[in-house]
Structure formats: C-alpha cells, structure tokens
C-alpha cells in the first residue's frame, strides 16, 4: 500500500480508502469490524463515512471499532460528511451554521472522538451563503473539532467560488473533493478536475466500480437478480440496468476492462481501480465492500501496474463525450491550450 498527501494538507493517507456506506445496512457490525480489521492489516489507514449512512449507525460502528482497536485508532484518518437531513425540522439539513454545528457535534459523539480528521460538505447548498459555511468550518478547525475540510459532489464553479472566498477572507482552505468518478463516468474531467488541480485539492472518488458494472458481474441483455445491488433494485439511480444495457459505450468499456484483466491474470475490478488510481489529482480511491472477499480482491489493485498500452486502451474506449462550445475540440479553451503548448 502506498500513501499520499491528503490533498493540499500535510496529512498522509493510503491510496485506497475504505468506504463504510454499507455498515449497519448491508454489512452487520461483525462483518464491518472484520472489513476494517482486514483493511488496516493490509496497510490502509483512511475511513470514509457520513452521518446519513444507515442513519448514523455507520459512524457508531466505526466509533466502537476505534475504541476496541487503540493501536489502529492512533493511525486512522477518519472522514465523515454533513449536509443532508438527520431529523424532520426545517433546520435539520443544509450547510448553515445552525445545522452544521448540530451535525458535527452529533458525528463526534457517534464516532466517539474529539476530532474528525476530514469533515466534508456532502453537497452544495444554494440557500446558505458560502461565507457562512466557510466561517463555520474555519471556526471548527480553530476549535480543534476538525483537522481539515472538503467537499463532495460539487461542480467546477462551486469549488472555485469556495476556494477563492476562503482565500479572500483568510479562512482555512478546502483540501479534497469527493466526486462520482470511474471509467463509465468521466465527465468531471471537463471542469471539476481542472478546478481541483488549480486549487491543489485531492480527489476521493466514490463508486469507482460503477455500482458493480466494472467488476464484470452484469451481462448484456440479462437483467440482474439475486444478492447484488442491481439484483435487488435494477432501477437503482444512475446505475440502473436498462439505460446502461442499451448504451454500447458501456459494453465496450466492460469488454476492454475484461481484456486487460485477462492479460494480467487479475479481476476486472482490479483493473478499473488501478486505472482510476493513476488519474490526475488523485489522493485516495474509496472502496465499498459488503464482503471480506470483495475487499481483498479490491485491495489487490494496489499491486497492479498497468502498462502504457493498457492505460491508452482504457483511456480511449472510455473517453467522455465531447460537449459543445466552449469545451469541444474547436472550443476557445482547446485553441488556447494548443497555442500555449506551441510556445
């Protein structure tokens, strides 16, 4: 396992993080403990959760594990999130000082820690002034309640606005962004990744295996059944079977991933994770596992070295569709890059 700086901070985290959204729902407490044990035994040190995961139960399970594993707890870097409702009241959501103060204190209690290493805003809040949110986060850093903060699911202009507002006001700067990113979903490369690179923020991608699509478990024209996420709910969000089954690009990517995996004698999941792990601005790829065998296979991606040809093949087959002006090949931004590159 290799380690990287947590975005633009001085903290160090493993190149693969353990996502804990399944804790308390798809993975019971014993399984969750076993997953964390295996992950730390393999050299991992970065746990990612959120207050809304299993309505707070995920945080509680992590808190009990940290209490029972003092050696690992000293090495653990713990990240959680706040923004979405944890109650029925009108102030029980959003990025206001009122809600974030309640949410942060509740997360600290559930995790049973004095400080959260990385506190992430789970999504943009158009109703709360960005200055209010940033002031709260800066105060939380100063009070020792959080070490750093970051964002999740923000788009390019939101990132840049937050970064430069914090800079203008002299507040602590964000260090990371947690976006949806994988071989099937690469549109963040148009503006979001450049915004993060400009701010020297690190990426923490969620759903790196595309909801299981990049593991090879789903077959063309065969609706999934059984104990898989799409088997239980084939219409699940952006990963719904129908739309992706009818998208030829999806199957070309899956076939390319399988071919590269066959060439290395590894699983398709390891190929997809290794590809994502070498993308620009990457800090740590978030692994989400329901079973120990899944985690073991995913962690093995740390030992997989893709060749230049492998990466070229995967880059080309998964290239995001080029949008129109001003982003496309003939857009203003592209022409300026060509001019600058020729100087």
CA distance 152 to 178: 4
Task: Tell me the two tokens of residue 232.
Answer: 């239980």
What is the DSSP secondary-structure string of 71-89? HHHHH-EEEEEE-S-SSSS
Q: Which of the following is catalytic: 53, 149, 154, 181?
A: 53
Phi, psi of 227 (to 5 degrees): -85, 60
Give 182's strand partners.
185
Task: Tell me the two tokens of residue 197.
Answer: 């690179």
Beta-carbon contacts of residue 135 (< 8 Å; ≥ 6 apart) = 97, 169, 171
Given a contact cutoff of 8 angstroms between Cβ atoms, the answer to whether 56 and 85 are in contact is no
Active site annotation includes 53: yes
Residue 37 CA to its chain's centroid (Å): 21
Which residues does the annotation mark as catalytic? 53
């Amino acid at each position: 396992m290799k380690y990287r700086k947590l975005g633009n901070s001085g903290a160090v985290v493993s190149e693969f993080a353990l996502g804990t959204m399944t804790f308390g729902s798809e993975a019971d407490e014993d399984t969750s403990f076993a997953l964390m044990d295996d992950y730390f035994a393999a050299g991992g040190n970065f746990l990612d959760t959120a207050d809304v995961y299993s309505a707070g139960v995920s945080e509680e399970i992590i808190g009990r594990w940290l209490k029972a594993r003092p050696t690992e707890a000293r090495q653990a870097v713990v990240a959680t999130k706040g923004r979405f409702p944890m109650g029925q009241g009108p102030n029980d959501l959003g990025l206001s000082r009122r809600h974030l103060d309640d949410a942060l204190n509740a997360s600290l209690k559930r995790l049973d820690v004095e400080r959260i290493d990385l506190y992430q805003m789970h999504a943009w809040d158009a109703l709360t002034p960005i200055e209010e949110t940033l002031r709260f986060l800066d105060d939380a850093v100063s009070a020792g309640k959080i070490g750093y903060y970051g964002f999740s699911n923000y788009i390019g202009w939101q990132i840049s606005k937050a970064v430069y507002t914090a800079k203008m006001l002299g507040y602590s700067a964000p260090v990371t962004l947690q976006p949806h990113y994988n071989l099937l979903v690469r549109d963040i490369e148009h503006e979001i990744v450049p915004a993060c690179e400009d701010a020297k923020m690190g990426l923490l991608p969620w759903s790196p295996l595309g909801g299981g699509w990049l593991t090879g478990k789903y077959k063309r024209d065969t609706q999934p059944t059984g104990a898989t996420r799409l088997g239980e709910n084939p219409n699940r969000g952006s990963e719904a079977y129908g739309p992706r089954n009818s998208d030829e690009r999806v199957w070309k990517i899956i076939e390319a991933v399988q071919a590269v995996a066959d060439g290395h004698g590894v699983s398709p999941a390891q190929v997809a994770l290794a590809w994502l792990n070498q993308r620009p601005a990457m800090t740590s790829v978030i692994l989400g596992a329901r079973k120990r065998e899944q985690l073991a296979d995913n962690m093995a991606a740390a030992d997989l070295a893709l060749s230049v040809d492998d990466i070229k093949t995967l880059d080309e087959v998964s290239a995001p569709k080029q949008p129109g002006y001003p982003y496309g090949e003939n857009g203003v931004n592209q022409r300026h890059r060509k001019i600058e590159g020729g100087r």
